[in-house]
Structure 1
Amino acid sequence: MAGTATIDRSAQSSIFNVLAAPFTALGRFLVLLAEANPKMRELDRLSRVTDEDLAAKGLTRDGEIRRIMGVNSYL
């Protein structure tokens, strides 16, 4: 005679979700915090500009990144 075993994994996954919830919330908060930073918003805007548009204005992507991030010295 053959028997079958049924494993209820929903209880395990719900416990995992409960334990992971604070870490998930913290991760989402840190992402929101980073995205709210004015430098990140400016870098996001820069990523949408083409190299040709920057060149037409006499700018370089590297120079703009240095300006946004406040890097004035060269290594």
Structure 2
Amino acid sequence: MAYTATTTDFAASHPIYARVLEALKNFGAAYVEARSRQGEIAALEAMTDEELAERGLTRDGIVRHVFSDSYYL
């Protein structure tokens, strides 16, 4: 007698794999969110031009400043 799998979703038929895959997805989402610099950009954009000038920044240089450690902009 032959066994034929009728499901194409391996994780659904094996709960342990479904939990592992879910944990990996959650980790990936948390990692991407932690690496996001949107909060720092928003905080700088909320400052007045005078406050930015005290830090040596201009409004059009905010993104360049935030990503200066990882990109050559």
Q: Which has the larger radius of gyration?
A: 1
> As a proportion of its length, which structure holds more helix?
1
TM-score range, shorter chain: 0.3 to 0.5
For normalisation by structure 2, the TM-score amounts to 0.43
Higher RCO (Cα < 8 Å, 6 or more apart): 1
